[in-house]
Structure 1
Amino acid sequence: MSLLGTGDLRRIFENLDKNGDGQVSLEELNWLLEKIGIHYSMDELESSIDKSSLNFDEFLNFYNSISSEETMRTGESKSRESNEGDVNQETDLVEAFKVFDLNDDGFISWDELQSVLSKLELWDKRSERDSNSMIRAYDTNNDGKLDFEEFKNMMLFTISR
């Protein structure tokens, strides 16, 4: 799946859904995207979503489309689709990495991970333990932070599960 699990995404969705109607408006979604450093104009968001609000399943689909899941394919050949998917996936991973690399130094530190999760209202004591173990598990050079290749390996492993 992705760096954030379905339970985490459910909590984000419920926090965004201020009126409890089971829908997140484009304004609420845009607010979240701005908080995590992803900038869409409302026109871009409206044209990419083509709806005025999203239910939870649609929210999950949108999240997956911006966090390294391959997007829907055209009717082109399988080999071309695969190559384009690889390029799209790499581009998506670079963009996701930038969201977490707050100081733009080419690494994701534990503090940066905590900061992004806090902005998403996903930070608690359990998250602290999970974040530390997540960085340690994929930090192959043991420098206490993730470079892009380590982040990419973590994301690709998580997606393939």
Structure 2
Amino acid sequence: METAGGAVSQCKRGSSFRLRSPSLNSVRLRRIFDVFDKNNDSIITVDELSQALALLGLQADLSQLERMVEAYVQPGNHGIRYEDFEALHRSLNDAFFGMTDDVQVVDEQQREESDLCEAFKVFDEDGDGYISARELQAVLGKLGLQEGREMDRVEMMISSVDQNNDGRVDFFEFKDMMRSVIVPSS
């Protein structure tokens, strides 16, 4: 039997440049695009991109940046739209993190485990390896769900998946719940 301490070690907290969950990655990428798009015209110009990179402490040669981005600028545009930005990101992601001959392919089970860890971390705000009723309530509230306003409903949600009856959800309980709800894609 795995302990709660095992739950923490199974789902390590740490920073990662990219998430393996496509939906979480998409949200993060959209936020980055919106930050880069200073004038909110839904297009990032080379100047905006250069300024954003400079704020991140990354100095880029403007002419090199123009050459890199121009392949993603659609005819008639003066910069890249979000869809173009996604394509640029995929290209950079493949270049920096893509599969090479000397890199083994991560098997699907490890990828699923990693995705579940990322999802678990969204709820486990204090990083203690458990989702408490308070943490669940906070996330539901941020999502604007009415269930987040009523602690008794939140506690019922916790107890419905709390297999060891400790009043909170550990990673293994969360994983069991998610696997029973999510139909694997083929």
Q: TM-score, normalised by structure 1?
A: 0.47
In our comparison, the structure showing a higher alpha carbon Rg is: 2
Q: TM-score, normalised by structure 2?
A: 0.41
